[in-house]
Amino acid sequence: MFKRSLSTLLATALLLSPLASVQASDDGVAILKGITRKSGGQVYRLDLQEPLRLERVSILILSAKLKVHSARLVTESQTRISLANLTNTAVTAAGQTLKSEYINRNDRIAALEIRAESFGAVADIIVTATSDEGLPVLIDEDSSSAPPPYNPPYEPSPEPPPYYPPTPTPTPAPTPPEVIQLSYPFDSYGPREYSKVECTASDDGWEEHWGGHSTCEACMAKHGDCVERCDLEYVRVFGIGVDMYGRIGKFEGRAPDSWSAKLDMQRVCDYYRLGSCEEDPSKSQSNFSETISRRECRRH
């Protein structure tokens, strides 16, 4: 009695187990060529020759790249069911397969609607529908005849023309800054504390044998009429700096000696409110002599 009950339980378990209800599934395929590159994609419809209950839908990308914006099942009653795994997918490269979730519904499906967009070149795809009720025969509504219920031969789309980047526009050479010459801002002979004036008197009309005299009186003691000349001698140091508008200013400092002339050059720089002042590398300092007065000394 006990053995018979155990046998009955085992038989019942086998009948109710998933293995006992496994049914073979059939795959129907259709190829779609030349998927649009238009932004947002285009809807492609595949009709089933006979409405069937579907288990899964997958899309194999044969060439280029593809994005699926949406995929919907159309039932016999024209109700549309969205497939979540085939909605707003990432851009997927050739050779990859996009698969829907398992379709756990009893509705019989009359058509598939897929909105897809190519990236890069024009993509070709193979759509596969799996059913446990029979072989799904997918018919492209845009084609005049239904595809055969087996894998059609694949012919790749022509390659797009090569991309040549535009020739870059050469960067124009920068415009050199404007150069301005700045006048000496103090009196003509430099700062008063730097003044170095030497006066000499020499014979007017006769040969001078003494090399000049320190004053007119000393000259007239040896000669008749004399001429007194006063000369200013100083060193010139040339400098450059940059003003607030980016212009290069050129100027000079003046003094009896080189060190003092460099100090005076900095005073001129500060006067014109220049920055980055330094000696002009294109010019060297020079000694300069200028006659500032001349008078005649005559006997009365």
The residue range of the domain holding 228 is: 179-297
**For the chain, percent of residues with pLDDT exceeding 90:** 47
* One domain for residues 212 and 118: no
| Same domain membership, residue 124 and residue 210 | no
Average pLDDT of the residues in 59-83: 93
Tokens 């700096």 sit at which residue? 241
Within-domain flag for 8: no
pLDDT at residue 263, rounded to an integer: 92
Does residue 171 form part of some domain?
no
pLDDT per position as a tens digit, 154-163: 677 788 888 8
Q: Is residue 166 part of a domain?
A: no
Residue 15 in any domain: the answer is no
Give the whole-angstrom CA distance, residue 63 versus residue 92. 10
Residues 185 and 289 in one domain: yes
Alpha-carbon gap, residue 246 to 230, rounded angstroms:
41
Query: Average pLDDT, stretch 21-46?
Result: 85
Q: What would the mean pLDDT of 203-224 be, rounded to a whole number?
A: 72
The position carrying tokens 């004053």 is 215
Is this model's pTM higher than 0.75 or not?
A: no
Clarify whether residues 120 and 195 are in a common domain: no
Indicate the DSSP class of residue 218: H
Q: Is 104 contained in some domain?
A: yes
Query: Which residue, among 280, 299, 276, has the nearest Cα to 219 in the 3D structure?
Result: 299
Confidence band (pLDDT; 50, 70, 90) for 4? Answer: very low
Position 88 scores a pLDDT of: 94
Are 185 and 126 found together in one domain? Answer: no
Which residue type occupies 23?
A: Q
Instruction: Give the count of domains, the chain.
Output: 2
pLDDT of residue 144: 44
* Helix/strand/coil percent split, the chain, to 5: 15, 40, 45
Same domain, 134 and 217: no
Q: What is the pLDDT of residues 215-235, one digit of tens each?
A: 787 787 777 788 888 877 788
Pairing label, strands 54-61, 97-99: antiparallel
Q: Is 1 helix (H, G, I), strand (E, B) or coil?
A: coil
